[in-house]
Chain A
């Protein structure tokens, strides 16, 4: 069946059941009712070790377990847990991840090969899992969900988690958890807050047990069933890793400066405005240049949200934004700030981006700056696969923030390594074009024809505006039209929209 993004979606996949195709109009009703596990009225049991905790968690073969990726490249919890599960003989588990990278991705790969895991549900995955997906090593299609889509699925009960394994940088004896204290602090526990709220059983894992009450609590001990103390939850140096990179490339600086000019011309930077930028190098630069503008003009924003960085922390301190809503801290400066600054607020993935959350922050955004791997002539955005089919990125919160914000700007170079990123058809639709407003590249700016109002605002600013087709032609004149590797018939990945319908499939 063909969905509203023009993609062919299978009606049914063995193991997953029937699929709902994405439609421009959101489906009414909910797929399932929410789970409300009972809060504990006593402190959590302190387990001897991971195996001891798992043995009392009610986990059985084939059930779903969850992890967060707040420890990023330094995560040692997922690996130790999967090793314990393998040693205990568990099979065919479903992994529900906020994302996976670095050593954690390698440990999931080992668990897949050992048969401990049969399915992965995640916002993104990195090597060696990305290679395993393309090689057909993962038994069931990987389900890609946005951060908001994952939180919605957890909250609604459509993806029930039996055990949530939640790494925290500190815990007290009542089981209250935080990511802002302890030797391996990482900041916000936002993604795990959604897991803790819905999982049938929560195992908290830390390497720092505080004798005193925590300065601040992210997850209440009433939602924690067992506590495991490890020697170390992570590698300090890797915790600030991942996709965070402030670009020094001239082309990327040019794009970022243009993006700020676009925001100004569009009239989006006003007192009280709300703002979020993705974790790509250009997006982070946009924030830096926007900061310069706000300081020069004295404009004060309302809130910034999403992944928190040192730059956003500085802007909060300088009063350039009134509040910083933090679902994930990208660096140590953000982790420290979250622990100290009351205006720096921790938010759950549900509050951040779930379409069903009544106070969804993404829905209140004025400006969203997105990175992408590809974009097509209908402004559909690919953020998972490259033009050549390799898996490069993740869904992250792109769908959620694009749908929620009043102005969504994609920033990207028009080609990378001689491969065009602006194409007539993209490999994988990850964010539908109807929620994307403007593309800013080094060779010109394209405005979605659906946003005639923006065209009217940008034209007088004499920005280098092009139609998407003009831009594609200009890029192909330099690079040639890409001769794409063919897709196969086997569905190895499913890209869900935030409402749970299917936007696209990754075929191998």
Chain B
């Protein structure tokens, strides 16, 4: 998924509109964008949006309240029966926290007649400890599908003033992307908060893509087009991947040469990944521009 658009859970107007903009995924938020005295109202609105099919459980996740708030259990108890199947867990730091959430999910699934382990997790790594534990978290639950980087809290904790420079985030990004790849998870980059700087967004997204991320979280619909473009294989990359796979199809194991380089197993895997990404992003299916999800 190239683009995950955040949407405040207490704004019916934005929830109704959010699926129209062309993001690959939505994150309906119950955490930071919702004031403490609006949490209950937001939970109800988000549950209703899933129950009435305004958002799709296949492409919309919910960011629940943090493990330190005591609100997350109620979030899950109301949202899972309403149809939510992807949960974004903020401030993930250790396997124990994940196991606690998974235990609650198991109970809720049982109580509501939902097949076990239907609900999946996207872990947000946004503290120095969470980033360091990226490898330790991997495999702590079969529910985990992806890691998501949260730079704002990370920068605040480390004492980095997040500006438009890209290098300060290279370390956490690399560690998260590397850990995600180790476990076959997706890797989603942090938001870009400077809405008046689309060039900065593009540079930030390109850096994340170079470091191994497959997409990015977004805070405004205007960011979707840029991010989808940057995280999509180019036409040239697609052609090259096809040529590599064509060459691989006629070779009898071992290695062959094409595109001026040796074609071996890693190159083939990379080509397959490019075509898979293109398939996920509908580049191969030629989905029409502006088509409602």
Question: Is A155 positioned at the interface, with any CB of B under 8 Å from its CB?
Answer: no
| Residue-wise interface mask of A (232-252) relative to B, using a CB-CB cutoff of 8 A (1 in contact, 0 not) | 000000000000000000110
B152 CB to closest chain A CB (Å) equals 22
CB pair A462 B292 closer than 8 Å: no
Which B residues lie within 8 Å of A478 (CB)? 16, 54
As a 0/1 sequence over residues 464 to 508 of chain A, the CB contacts with chain B under 8 angstroms (1 = contact) are 100000000000001000000000000000000000000000000
* Interchain CA distance A284-B288 in the complex, whole Å: 25
Report the bound CA distance from A261 to B290 in whole Å: 9
A254 to B221, CA, bound (A): 9
Q: How far is B289's CA from A444's CA once the two chains are assembled, in angstroms?
A: 12
Contact A254–B292 (Cβ < 8 Å): no
Residues of B near A437 (CB, < 8 A) are: none
Shortest Cβ distance from residue B176 to the other chain A in the assembled complex, whole angstroms: 29
Query: Do B291 and A250 have beta carbons less than 8 Å apart?
Result: no
Do the beta carbons of B290 and A250 come within 8 Å of each other? no
Least CB separation from B17: chain A residue: A251
Give me 20 A-to-B residue pairs in the complex whose CB atoms sit less than 8 angstroms apart, sorted by A's number: A250-B17, A250-B21, A250-B220, A251-B17, A251-B20, A253-B221, A254-B21, A254-B221, A254-B290, A257-B290, A261-B289, A261-B290, A442-B20, A443-B292, A462-B287, A462-B288, A462-B291, A464-B290, A464-B291, A478-B16
> Knowing that A253-B221, A254-B20 are A-B contacts, what are 17 other residue pairs whose CB atoms are under 8 Å apart, sorted by A's residue number?
A250-B21, A250-B220, A250-B221, A250-B222, A251-B20, A257-B290, A258-B290, A261-B290, A442-B17, A443-B20, A443-B292, A444-B292, A461-B288, A463-B288, A463-B290, A464-B288, A478-B54
Task: Report the Cα distance A250→B289, complex, angstroms.
Answer: 16
Instruction: Please tell me if the beta carbons of B222 and A253 are within 8 angstroms of each other in the complex.
Output: yes
Q: List which B60-102 residues lie within 8 A (CB) of chain A.
A: none
Residues of A in contact with B, size category:
10 to 19
Interface size class of B (residues with CB under 8 A): 10 to 19
A248, closest chain B residue (CB): B222
CB B102 to nearest CB in A, in angstroms, measures 35
B290 contact set on A, CB distance < 8 A: 254, 257-258, 261, 463-464
On chain A, the residues within 8 Å of B54 by CB distance are 478
Query: CB-CB < 8 A to B17: which residues of A?
Result: 250-251, 442
Complex contacts, A254 vs chain B, CB 8 Å:
20-21, 221, 290
Tell me whether chain A's interface is mostly helix, strand or loop, or mixed.
helix
Interface of B is mostly: loop
Cβ–Cβ < 8 Å partners of B220 in chain A: 250
Most buried by A among B54, B291, B292: B292
Of B222, B287, B288, the most chain A CB neighbours within 10 A belong to: B288
CA distance A257 to B22 in the complex (A): 12
Report chain B residues within 8 Å CB of A258.
290
Return the CB mask of B137-171 against A: 1 if under 8 Å, else 0. 00000000000000000000000000000000000
List chain A positions with a Cβ less than 8 A from chain B. 250-251, 253-254, 257-258, 261, 442-444, 461-464, 478
Binding site for A on B (CB under 8 A): 16-17, 20-21, 54, 220-222, 287-292
Which residues of chain A are near B292, meaning CB under 8 Å? 443-444, 464
How long is the Cα–Cα vector from A478 to B48 in the complex, in angstroms? Answer: 12
CB distance from B284 to the nearest CB of A (A): 15
Smallest CB gap from A445: residue in B: B290
User: In the docked arrangement, what's the CA distance between A261 and B289, Å?
Assistant: 9
Q: Which of A251, A261, A463, A478 gathers the greatest number of chain B CB atoms within 10 Å?
A: A251
Report B219 CB to chain A, min CB distance, Å.
12
Bound complex: CA A462 to CA B291 (Å): 8
Task: Give the distance to chain B from A262, nearest Cβ to Cβ, in Å.
Answer: 9
Closest to B292 in A: A464
Nearest-neighbor residue (CB-CB) of A479 within chain B: B16
- Chain B nearest CB from A422 CB (Å) reads 15
Bound Cα distance A482, B271 (Å): 54
CA of A40 to CA of B275 in the docked complex: distance in angstroms? 78
Give the docked Cα–Cα distance between A261 and B220 (Å): 22
In the bound complex, what is the Cα–Cα distance between A444 and B288 (angstroms)?
13
Q: Which residues of A contact B222 (CB under 8 A)?
A: 250, 253
Contacts of B287 on A, CB cut-off 8 Å? 462
Residue of A whose beta carbon sits closest to that of B289: A261
What is the CB-to-nearest-CB distance from B146 to chain A, in angstroms, rounded to a whole number? 26
Kindly provide the distance from the CB of B73 to the nearest chain A CB, expressed in whole angstroms. Answer: 31
Q: Which 6 A-B pairs have the closest CB atoms?
A: A462-B288, A250-B221, A258-B290, A442-B20, A464-B292, A251-B17
Question: Which residue of chain A lies nearest to B220 when distances are taken between CB atoms in the complex?
Answer: A250
Q: Which residue of B lies closest to A258 (CB)?
A: B290
Cα(A461)–Cα(B20), bound, Å:
18
- In the assembled complex, the CB of B221 is this many whole angstroms from the nearest CB of chain A, namely 4
Distance, CA A478 to CA B52, complexed state (A)? 10
Cβ of A461: which chain B residues have Cβ within 8 Å of it?
288
Query: Chain A nearest CB: distance from B91 CB in Å?
Result: 29
Residues of A within 8 A of B288 (CB): 461-464
| Distance, CA A196 to CA B290, complexed state (A) | 48
A413 and chain B: residue at smallest CB distance: B17
**Residues in B whose Cβ lies below 8 Å from that of A261:** 289-290
Residues from chain B with Cβ under 8 Å of A257 in the complex:
290
Query: Bound complex: CA of A480 vs CA of B288, how far in Å?
Result: 30
Please report the C-alpha to C-alpha distance between residue A250 and residue B292 in the assembled complex, in whole angstroms: 15
Min CB gap B188→A, angstroms? 21
Residue of A nearest to B14 (CB): A250
Q: How far is the CB of B139 from chain A (nearest CB, A)?
A: 39
Residues of chain B within 8 A of A444, CB atoms compared: 292
Give Cα distance in the complex from A464 to B289, angstroms: 9
Give chain A nearest CB distance to B10 CB in angstroms.
Answer: 16
The smallest C-beta distance from B18 to any residue of chain A, in angstroms, reads 9
B5 → A minimal CB distance (Å): 10
Chain A residue at minimal CB-CB distance from B290: A258
Question: Closest CB-CB distance, B236 to chain A, in whole Å?
Answer: 20
Q: How far is the CA of A464 from the CA of B290 in the complex (A)?
A: 7
B65 to chain A, nearest CB (A): 26
Q: Which residues of B contact A250 (CB under 8 A)?
A: 17, 21, 220-222
- Measured CB to CB, the closest approach of chain B to A438, in angstroms, equals 14
Smallest CB gap from B225: residue in A: A257
> Closest CB-CB distance, A502 to chain B, in whole Å?
38
* A463 to B288 alpha-carbon distance, docked (Å): 7
CA distance A253 to B222 in the complex (A): 9
Would you give the shortest CB distance from B241 to chain A, in whole angstroms? 25
Bound together, the chains give a CA A250 to CA B287 distance in angstroms of: 21
Closest to A415 in B: B16
Question: CA A261 – CA B288 in complex, angstroms?
Answer: 11
